[in-house]
Amino acid sequence: MPEVRTEYQQELDSLEASALGGLDLVSSALSRTLEAIEHQDIELAQIVVADDDRIDGRYLEVHQALITLLATQSPVATDLRLISAMLHVLKNIERMGDQCVNICKVIPMSGHEPPADEAMVKLILTMGTHTKSLISQAKRAFEERNVEMARDLVQRDDVVDELNRECFQLALAIGDDADKREWAMTMLLTARAIERIADNAVDIGEQVAFVVTGLFREFEDASHPHADA
Amino acid sequence: MFGSQAKPEAEEGRNTMSQAGPVTETSNQPSETPPARRAKTLEAKEVNLYYGDFHAVEGVNMTIEPNKVTALIGSSGCGKTTFLRSLNRMHELTPGATVKGNIELDGEDIYAGGVDPVAVRRLIGMVFQQPNPFPTMSIYDNVAAGLNFNAGKVSKADKDAIVERSLRGAHLWDEVKDRLGRPGSGLSGGQQQRLCIARATAVSPEVLLMDEPCSALDPVATLAIEDLISELKKEYTIAIVTHNMQQAARASDNTAFFNLDESGKPGHLVEIGPTDEIFTKPKKKETEDYVSGRFG
């Protein structure tokens, strides 16, 4: 039986590559963001903010192409789930990019003195590195349609959540100095943004499960912490 | 390009059997497909079509772009098939049927005085809804029929090459190469339709008109024809009338929506545009209502 609809399949494959390529853009934005935090590099932070246009551009372009594919190819079954998943993943990517921007916008506010608490900076950089590897894993899970790998993201995200809580404790203990407190608040915003990025990676994992199983649901959420998916 | 009614004349480009070109190339290398080429533009200007006194289609202005597929959609009776048949002078075969306005192939009016309608129908070929291979002829003779009927002696070697090229171009060669002498009617519906496409392309047309080419076929055969159409547009200009909106959405580059205001009134062109726009953000509400199935 010869293959039919090869152009459609090629278009679908190409859009998937484009959408997942957005995760590479996010990864690189996050790397630069972490570098900007580590070295208090305001210029690098500004570059991240400007470059977010590329992520937004990818979002809009692939979104439009997916809508066109829906309108013209009447996709059903896995194709339809894949397109739906990609629409969600694109949104996740766009949000992750925006979180990097949020971090980079507060870096200048953290001042030019050495950090008030080295431990906190270390925590944040660790959160960041861990989150980068979550993003990689989410991308691979999607490419390989690997539900186990996707589900594993939940546990790895727990690590990031724990680090975020530790940051919060460190911030509480920072003391009365007004400058220090301001610095600690910007660091908390940063930690929070990284935690959000990691969360978005888990959401991508949930989309992997949807494509493969057809079941659209959260892996776990606060009101049902041990729910079976 | 169309010659006169008196005798067919030597024509430019690939439309003449006696000239060098794809014919000689393919007879040296029968298994190579001809290179993609720029096909011609078909343009309708203020076309009005009548059956006797009845005004069937009014005021159509549209361009059928070269190397693209233009789908004509619209509800029953809206004139899209009547319009299609005017594009290769088949409308006038109905007694009393007349055409007003101009239809031009790369700027040359196909209705100009002295134009041979048979030559027009060779350059602007048609494939019909019901596959209609000549039932008593072999597969080979079906494809070669146009060569045999039209003037100009074609050598056996050249004919063989053209038949192979056409069958390959119609994605049918591998399935029939060992039984070219068998009757055309022995093939499946989808194969018969591809045979009709091969027959149409054997005479090197510029344009292929298809009137609901897949309506009589099952879904798998339909998709195979759609894939074929997507290959064919590399060489030809294609217009296809279809009732199947998903097919228009899948298989065409541009879509023209025809409609009737009410029964008894002439059909007219409501909107024409790139297919992805017609199906994602059409300009007219009428078009939107039709494509989203809100009225038949």
List, for residues B241-264, the tens digit of each pLDDT value. Answer: 999 999 999 999 999 999 998 888
Distance separating alpha carbons of residues A117 and A123, to the nearest angstrom: 10
Strand, coil or helix: A25: helix
Best of A72, A79, A80 to mutate (most B CBs within 10 Å, chain B):
A72
Give the residue among B28, B64, B58, B22 at the shortest CA–CA distance from B43: B64
Mean pLDDT of B155-160: 91
**CB atoms closer than 10 angstroms to residue A193:** 25
What are A57's two structure tokens? 């551009």
Q: Does A73 touch chain B (CB under 8 A)?
A: yes
Q: Over pLDDT 70: what percentage of chain B?
A: 88
Q: Report DSSP letters for A172-200, one per residue.
A: HTT-S-HHHHHHHHHHHHHHHHHHHHHHH
Tally C-beta pairs within 8 A across A and B. Answer: 32
Q: In what helix (H) or strand (E) does residue B40 lie, and over which residues does it extend?
A: none
The pLDDT-based confidence of B29 (bands split at 50, 70, 90) is very low
pLDDT at res. B25? 35
Residues of B in contact with A4 (CB under 8 A): 220, 223-224, 226-227
Measured CA to CA, the distance from residue A207 to residue A86 in angstroms comes to 8
DSSP A31: H
Yes or no, beta carbons of A5 and B223 under 8 Å apart = yes
Q: Which positions in chain A touch B233 (Cβ < 8 Å)?
A: none
pLDDT of B112 over the 60 cut: yes
Q: Which among B171, B227, B279 is the nearest to A6, CB-wise?
A: B227
Environment class of A112 (CB within 10 Å of its CB; exposed 0-12, middle 13-18, buried 19+): exposed
Tell me whether strands B54-64 and B42-51 are parallel, antiparallel or unpaired.
antiparallel
Which residue positions in chain A have pLDDT lower than 50?
1, 227-229
Taking an 8 Å cut-off on Cβ atoms, the answer to whether A7 and B220 are in contact is no
Residue B218: is its pLDDT beyond 50?
yes
Return d(Cα B274, Cα B288) in angstroms, integer.
Answer: 14
Q: In A152-175, which positions are buried (b, 16+ CB within 10 angstroms) versus exposed (e)?
A: bbeebbeebeebbebbeebbeebe
User: Given a cut of 60, is residue B210 above it in pLDDT?
Assistant: yes
Query: Which of A2, A4, A71 is the closest to B276 by Cβ?
Result: A71
Tokens 């006797």 correspond to B52
Strands of B176-230 (E only): list them: 207-211
What does the alpha-carbon distance between residue B176 and residue A18 come to, in Å, rounded to a whole number? 41
Averaged pLDDT, B269-289: 95
ipTM: 0.76
Pairing of strands B69-74, B237-241: parallel
